[in-house]
Amino acid sequence: MIQPVEIALDVALLVMQNGGSTELVDRTFTNVLKRYTTADVSPIWRLDYVAATDRLDAGASVVMRPVGVVGMHLVRASEAAALGERVATGETDVAHLGGEIERIKKLASPYNRWVLTLAGACAGAFFSRTAGGDWGAFGVTFVAAGVGQFVRLLLQARNVSRILLTAICALSSAFIATAGLRLGFSQVASATIVGSVIYMVPGLALINGFVDVAAGKHLFVGIQRLVDAALVSLILAVAVAIADAAL
């Protein structure tokens, strides 16, 4: 029975694509399959693709799905996980799963672009103060992080790759911070430049990666998450170094 596995994989993929932990992805997949008689199914979770092997009497069949860009939309992730639970308990009929999957895919963020831009700007500004920056650093990082976050949201809407997106936004924010320092708005270079890119620190990827590795059950995808987070952090560090050298 390949169709049940495909449906379960589609629901689980929604959790992964929107920032859910691998444990939640796996649990969602299992919950959907509880409503079917499919016997021996082995899922494989990776950041580049997900797959499930269904061992039938006549042999084994494999269903694969590309993951694509992994974002952070925890409303969608939680809705997909809740859908899996409703299917497992019989609250949602499996015949309606296709429509539910499409509904979740179309869920908008609870926060509009301007709220998210303000959040990024505040994250940079308040970090600069906790890192020893002056009020000038607060203002410069507020502008630099806000502009970078706005550009980031525009690029995400166009499905720009994570690496290119990170490089463009980090360099944009860092050079705005450098301009503010050159104009004399702040005298604390480190807090200003680092604060300008702090909104891009991959916190969720690090948390999910450490949880996967610590649990041991999803070691491979956990290492993938940590390597991805390390690469993003490296790009941020290079952007900071370039901006600092330009002072």
From 105, 132, 164, the end of a domain falls on 105
Inform me whether the pLDDT recorded for 152 exceeds 50. Answer: yes
Do 101 and 157 belong together in one domain?
no
Q: Find tokens 């059950």 and name the residue.
A: 217
CB 217 within 8 A of CB 162: no
Share the mean pLDDT of the chain. 89
Amino acid at 118: L
The answer on 239 and 126 residing in a single domain is: yes
Verify that 223 and 127 share a domain, yes or no: yes
Which residues contact residue 133 at a Cβ distance below 8 angstroms, ignoring those fewer than 6 apart?
A: 141, 186, 188, 191, 192, 195
**pTM, full prediction:** 0.84
Which of 105, 129, 149 represents a domain boundary (last residue)? Answer: 105
Tell me which of 29-38, 76-85, 133-142 is least confident: 29-38
pLDDT, one tens digit per residue, over 7-33 is 889 999 999 999 999 999 999 999 988
Q: Residue 1: its pLDDT value, please?
A: 44
How much of the chain is helix, strand and coil, in % rounded to 5? 70, 10, 20
What is the C-alpha to C-alpha distance for residues 61 and 204, in angstroms, rounded to an integer? 33
Q: Is 220's pLDDT higher than 80?
A: yes
Sign of CA dihedral 6, 161, 118, 243: positive
Residues 37, 69 contacting (CB under 8 angstroms): no
Number of H helices, E strands in the chain: 10, 3
The range of the structural domain enclosing residue 191 comes to: 113-245
Q: How many domains does the chain have?
A: 2
* Mean pLDDT of the 106-128 span: 93
Whether residues 28 and 81 fall in one domain: yes
Tokens of 184: 């004399």
Answer yes or no: do 70 and 123 share one domain. no
One domain, residues 122 and 241? yes
74-109 residue pLDDT tens:
899 999 999 999 988 888 887 778 889 999 999 988
Residues 139, 97 share a domain: no
Is 64 in the same domain as 141? Answer: no
Contact 11, 29 (CB under 8 A): yes
SS3 218: coil
Do residue 84 and residue 9 come from a single domain? yes
User: For 157-169, what is each residue's pLDDT tens digit?
Assistant: 888 888 899 999 9
